[in-house]
Chain A
Amino acid sequence: GAVVSQHPSWVICKSGTSVKIECRSLDFQATTMFWYRQFPKQSLMLMATSNEGSKATYEQGVEKDKFLINHASLTLSTLTVTSAHPEDSSFYICSARSGYTYEQYFGPGTRLTVT
């Protein structure tokens, strides 16, 4: 089956620093990748849609200057949390959509803790 990886799996950073999270589709090309955020005991909320070679589309309420998304290739998208604050602490999950089906394949998630 299709595999999506995320790196790192967990990260602790100090307030004010930036953190980059990578999402890779390992065995298929993903024209579209999605970034979700999940707070404790909450469901996943879509943050942005990332299309290869174009600017990401952000959901209402998500600051595009704070959450920088780059989708430079058909197998890699990155999310950079800039000037992180404790309220950004969350579980970030990416998914990749195959160019042939509507099914999304999810990465294992990255747990970010900002101290």
Chain B
Amino acid sequence: KQEVTQIPAALSVPEGENLVLNCSFTDSAIYNLQWFRQDPGKGLTSLLLIQSSQREQTSGRLNASLDKSSGRSTLYIAASQPGDSATYLCAVGNSGYALNFGKGTSLLVTP
């Protein structure tokens, strides 16, 4: 069974800092990996999707990388802003296409 781990569980940074969120998974036979953002009490917002054949994806200030062989992905957020404060979830897609989620990293960006 795929296990997805996210480190750190919580992170607090001052505005403007660049930061890295980490995600690791145990089964490297994946179809894809997605990063989501979840605001308190809300649903999921998809940030980036990386297919298994890809190494990274970029969207604005976000960059996600994927290293299947080592079972790792990172989400890089450049020039963080208070509006980036949320929980970031890493999810891995295996056979059947259901996603296995990590527990998330709770990010707080202080002004």
Binary per-residue interface labels of chain A (46-79) against chain B in the complex, 1 for a CB within 8 Å, 0 otherwise: 1001000000000000000000000000000000
What is the total of A-B residue contacts with beta carbons within 8 Å? 52
Instruction: Write the nearest CB–CB distance from B91 to chain A, whole angstroms.
Output: 8
Q: B101 contacts A43, CB within 8 Å?
A: yes
Contact check: which of A93, A97, A105 meets B97 at CB < 8 Å? A97
Say which size band chain B's interface belongs to. 20 to 34
How far, in angstroms, from A34 to B103 measured CA to CA in the complex? Answer: 18
Q: A104 contacts B97, CB within 8 Å?
A: yes
Q: Which B residues are in CB contact (< 8 Å) with A100?
A: none
Known: A43-B104, A49-B98. A105 touches B46 (CB 8 A): yes
Q: B43 contacts A102, CB within 8 Å?
A: no
Q: B89 contacts A44, CB within 8 Å?
A: yes
How far, in angstroms, from A45 to B103 measured CA to CA in the complex? Answer: 10
How far, in angstroms, from A46 to B98 measured CA to CA in the complex? Answer: 8
Q: A106 contacts B102, CB within 8 Å?
A: no
**B residues 28-48 with Cβ under 8 Å of A?**
31-32, 34, 36, 41-44, 46
Q: Is A111 an interface residue (CB 8 A)?
A: yes
